[in-house]
Structure 1
Amino acid sequence: MDKVLFLKSFLRSPLQVASIIPSSPFLVKHITSHINERKPRIVAELGAGTGVLTKALDGKCPSIESLLVFENEENLNRHLQEQFPHLRIYTDAFNLPEVMQERNIEHLDCIVSALPVSWFSAQQIEQLLDMVHSHLKPGGDFIMFQFSLQMRKHLKRKFNHISIQYVPLNFLPAFVYFCHKQ
């Protein structure tokens, strides 16, 4: 069901949904293994899709108030609300600052992004990275996966510590960027 929903969402909104199927268990495990090491208290997920990563993150956060989930595509958002009735699912990831203010959250420990930034303008990319960097606590992590290396130069301007890992067991094969804020 999730794969069909994801494909339909991609066909309806290819600029909002970056892939034709959800992230693989290999990609999810790769991302969450890094998160396990850091033991975050408050996490934001930008671009949750059908919730395969959300499910893993939900199990890692200490409370339901600790996970902020964003998905802009209407059908995927509705699916997430049904799948995770205990979580509040937000729409526009660029509203992260307002959501944090509403929930009295000063800084995040970790932000995970699956947003399709390859379709973003240079200005939108800078806006996203400014927002991410300013809302991470010192020592916080930004984890992003993409299907190309185009984000490397943008991330290097914001973060001192970046590592990139290739995950071939995903359709499409993905590059995972691990960025640490000093």
Structure 2
Amino acid sequence: MSFTVSVFKQAGVDVTRFSDQASFLRGFLERPREVGSVIPSSRFLERRITRVIDAPASDVVVELGPGTGGTTRAVLNGLGADARLLAIDTNPAFITRLQTLADPRLIVQQGSADDLAGILRGHDLPAPDVVFSGIPFSTMPREAGLAIIQGIWEALAPGGRFMAYQFRDEVRRLAASVLGQPTIEREWLNIPPMAFYAWDKPV
């Protein structure tokens, strides 16, 4: 253990969360359009995600844009023992960090959300029960966002849920013509407040 880490722990600092924040800020500075925020998820946001996706009832979950892994750890804590979580990110630094999470239920894949079907096939995974996403739809071209949304909907299992948590409501406008209107929740204790948009695929 380094001297700095030891001092932080003695002072009661959550070293993992502090390290996540530093890594996330670096990721934002390097790729602002892909990361979309200067700070990682809060505990309030992480708890809300686990509830909105109904993690305990899900067997196969896909996370798009896990960043430094705060939401990934939270969802893993809520999943069953035999569930699988596929975390997909384009940022190699985030992928390296995610790969340090020692959990046999976790599959980490560097790749793009628009190749979801191919990545699922590559890992021999069935149609997911849940796909949730923190990637910023507001910063990508409209055509790219629509393609990702359509790919997610096609990949989902019947009765599955797509949930996007966003600061802006661009994803709602993008998805309206394809998926209809979502159910919306907000986490006011997150800074800034976060909206959760969810669509359920018919059985």
Superposition TM-score, scaled by structure 1 size: 0.91
The alignment's C-alpha RMSD in Å is 1.9
User: Does structure 1 conserve the Cα–Cα contact (< 8 Å) formed by 2:55 and 2:79?
Assistant: no
- Residue 45, structure 1, aligned to residue 53, structure 2: no
1:135 aligned residue: 155
**5+ residue gaps, structure 1:** none
- SS of the aligned residue for 1:137 comes to coil
Of 19, 33, 54, 1:36 maps to 54
- Residue 176, structure 1, aligned to residue 193, structure 2: no
Moved over 4 A (4+): none
After superposition, the C-alpha distances for 1:49-102 in whole angstroms (9 at most, x for unaligned) are 111110122123335761110111121111111234643311122222112112
Higher relative contact order (CA 8 A, sep 6+): 1
1:59 aligned residue: 77
Give, in angstroms, the shift of residue 172 of structure 1. Answer: 2.5
101-110 or 29-38, larger mean C-alpha shift: 29-38
CA distance in structure 2 between the partners assigned to 1:102 and 1:62 by the alignment: 23
Matches within 5 A, 1:1-182: 1-36=19-54, 39-63=57-81, 66-84=84-102, 86=104, 87-92=106-111, 93-160=113-180, 162-182=182-202
**Residue identity in the other structure for 1:81:** Q
**5+ residue gaps, structure 2:** 1-18
Sequence identity of aligned pairs in percent?
Answer: 28
After superposition, the C-alpha distances for 1:131-168 in whole angstroms (9 at most, x for unaligned) are 10001111100110111122212222222461111222
Give, in angstroms, the shift of residue 42 of structure 1. Answer: 0.4
- SS of the aligned residue for 2:174 comes to helix
Select the structure of larger CA radius of gyration: 2
